[in-house]
Structure 1
Amino acid sequence: MKLVDKMYGEFILEPVLEELINSAAVQRLKKIHQGGASYLVNEQWNGTRYEHSVGVMLLIRQLGGSIEEQIAGLLHDVSHTAFSHVIDYVFDEKNEDYHEKIFTEVIEGSDISTILVRYGLEEKNIMEDLSQWSILEQPLPELCADRIDYTLRDMLHFGVISLEEIETFLSHLVMIEGKICIDDIGQAEWFVDTYYKEVIDYFLDPLNIYGYTILSQALKIALRKNILKPNYFLRTDEEVMDLLYRSNDEEVIRLLRKLQEDVILMEDEEEFDYHMKQKERLIDPPVWMGNKLVMASSISGKVARQTKRASVKAQKGVHLRVVRKHNQ
């Protein structure tokens, strides 16, 4: 199978990867939006979990990861529900890890194990503990393929960074002691800046917060009224949205219509309609300085200052006031 990715280029994939990509579990991710409710309030925010999952697999491949780690990368988000992290707010999962809690259940309920066995691979050995894969996953504030891909992919998609900038950055990634590092402090600063544009400027964009808040409210009501059941979230965004509209429930429909309104929003800590905090996501990439590893913040005041500002913003959250609708 030949696969072409806009960031990583062209690859010829092994049959096991081809079968996994074509499995129902992975194909469902084509209809799960990466940004949760974001696409409902801004049509440009329409990246999918599928694009990201394939991208993570390819980045792991490019960095020398084994076929097993590439499989783990491809499948790491397979349990994301409809509307992705919106469901964490529906179920009050403060660590934003609902998809991780149902991961094993989703894998076991799919055809993934059957595919792996056909190629002499054990699902348990690959998927039971994703933390064993050091390229795929690392705790914050380290770099990992998951974190790198969603940052670069979103910011490229939104026109914030260029493909040329991405290619330059990727050329400065090196594997040291089993971890992804950067061999140039200027590139480390560039990635930190790009990352905070993702997790602060995009994730905490007032319109994004508005979308998350309104949709999570609608989904909570739908659950309470038995319009939806928790297992319905393992369908696609479109299928769940269709169930909500077909319910004809006035309370739910009223909230969904709010997502379609052209509103003017402002941050106001004194008088606000909504407040939302997200998980604190800070980055401090390791930099290879010739013969030793150092954290970027220890040699870059710019990185240290950006991280401090991002921490303050994340802890405070977004206090949102709806000023008015555009048509008023």
Structure 2
Amino acid sequence: MRITDDLYGTFELEPILVKLIESNPIQRLKGIHQGGASYLVNEKWNETRYDHSIGVMLLIRKMGGSLEEQVAGLLHDVSHTAFSHVVDLVFKNEEQSYHEEIFKRVVTESEIPAILSANSISLVKLFDDANWSILEQPAPDLCADRIDSTLRDMYRYGQITLDEVEYFLGHLVLHEGTLHLNHLGAAEWFSETYYKEVIDFFMDPLNVYGYDRLSKLLTYALAEGYLTPPDLLMEDEQVLQKLRALSDPQISKYLSELTPPIYIEENKNEATIHLKTKVRLIDPMVIEGECISRASERSTRVEQMNAKAQQRALEGMSIKVLAPSTQKNPVHE
């Protein structure tokens, strides 16, 4: 299979990658939206876990990662539930790690083990993140997962250009098994882009509103027995179709509240919704000559961005829901 990605280019894939891409767990990700509730409140926010998973695999490949690590990158999100991290709000999972907690079970109960076994790839090794230093690193370091989600969303939503992506990738290097940048300017650019994603996008009032309303809908549906946890491993629209078929007035109310036009405003004094997000900081390692350091140690700009992002995350976002008659133009038509 030859595959072309807007960000990383064209690649020829080995048969095992093709079989995994064609498997049900990966194909399901075409129906799982990266931004959770975002596509419901703004149809343009429609990036999927499938595109991201392919992207992570290709970025690992581009950086010289092994075939095994490419497999791990392709599979890393197969256990994401419908609506991605919205479910973490439902289950009050503050670390936003519900998909990680069920990863082993979801993989084991699928056709993935048979595909891996037929290609002599260890299932036990797959489950140990310590084996995949390009794919995953704790914040604030760079890793393929963190990089692709940032670049892909911000490129798709018009916040960065392809030329900027190519500039960044041109300065991305592998040093002793982990991702570094070889230019401080690239580290400053990525830090700014990353905070456009985790602060400006995920804390956009419309996104916060969507997460709040959808999490309330799913919580109610689970409590009433309309949904069970296994149902959350369906695609986003399959879950919604199941809920739309119900005659419960409360379900109908929640669904209508997720349908544009939506009238809200940021309002700290009269908030009806307040959401704090997990603090996600980035501080890339920069290698220039014999000097290796964090970007913030050499860039006041990165240091200031980190401090501002941490403060914004700790403060959270306060939203007031408005009656349609009180605002001429909705947040989204």
> Could you say whether these structures have the same fold, taking a TM-score greater than 0.5 normalized by the shorter chain as the test?
yes
Per-residue deviation at 1:323?
Answer: 3.1
Per-residue deviation at 1:266?
Answer: 2.1
4+ runs of 1 displaced by more than 3 Å?
none
Number of the residue aligned with 1:292 = 291
Report the residue type matching 2:76 in the other structure.
H
Per-residue deviation at 1:327?
Answer: 6.5
Per-residue deviation at 1:118?
Answer: 0.8
Per-residue deviation at 1:250?
Answer: 0.6
Number of the residue aligned with 1:175 = 174
Report the residue type matching 1:73 in the other structure.
G
Number of the residue aligned with 1:57 = 57
Q: The residue matched to 2:58 in structure 1 has which SS?
A: helix
Per-residue CA distance 1:20-44 (angstroms, 9 max, x = gap): 0000000000000000000000011
What TM-score, normalized by structure 1, do the two folds share? Answer: 0.98
Separation (CA, whole Å) in 2 of partners of 1:287 and 1:92: 36
Per-residue deviation at 1:261?
Answer: 3.4
Per-residue deviation at 1:87?
Answer: 0.3
Q: How does 1:173-322 map to 2 (within 5 A)?
A: 173-322=172-321
Q: How does 1:36-75 map to 2 (within 5 A)?
A: 36-75=36-75
Structure 1: give runs of 5+ residues left out of the alignment.
none
Separation (CA, whole Å) in 2 of partners of 1:279 and 1:96: 8
What TM-score, normalized by structure 2, do the two folds share? Answer: 0.96
Number of the residue aligned with 2:103 = 103
Per-residue deviation at 1:271?
Answer: 1.4
Per-residue deviation at 1:60?
Answer: 0.3
Per-residue deviation at 1:265?
Answer: 2.2
Q: How does 1:103-142 map to 2 (within 5 A)?
A: 103-125=103-125, 127-142=126-141
Separation (CA, whole Å) in 2 of partners of 1:303 and 1:174: 20
Percent sequence identity over aligned pairs: 50
Separation (CA, whole Å) in 2 of partners of 1:37 and 1:327: 24
Structure 2: give runs of 5+ residues left out of the alignment.
none
Per-residue deviation at 1:131?
Answer: 3.1
Check if 1:84 corresponds to 2:84.
yes
Separation (CA, whole Å) in 2 of partners of 1:44 and 1:183: 34
RMSD between aligned residues: 1.1
Q: Is the 8 A contact 1:263 1:324 kept in 2?
A: no
Q: Is the 8 A contact 1:174 1:182 kept in 2?
A: yes
Q: The residue matched to 1:293 in structure 2 has which SS?
A: strand
Check if 1:152 corresponds to 2:151.
yes
Report the residue type matching 2:322 in the other structure.
V
Separation (CA, whole Å) in 1 of partners of 2:245 and 2:275: 29
Number of the residue aligned with 2:26 = 26
Per-residue CA distance 1:221-271 (angstroms, 9 max, x = gap): 001110000110000001000011111211011011011132232222221
Q: How many residues align?
A: 327
Check if 1:9 corresponds to 2:6.
no
Report the residue type matching 2:87 in the other structure.
I
Per-residue CA distance 1:24-72 (angstroms, 9 max, x = gap): 0000000000000000000110000000000000000000100000000
Separation (CA, whole Å) in 2 of partners of 1:248 and 1:195: 42
Separation (CA, whole Å) in 2 of partners of 1:119 and 1:177: 27
Q: Is the 8 A contact 1:31 1:236 kept in 2?
A: yes
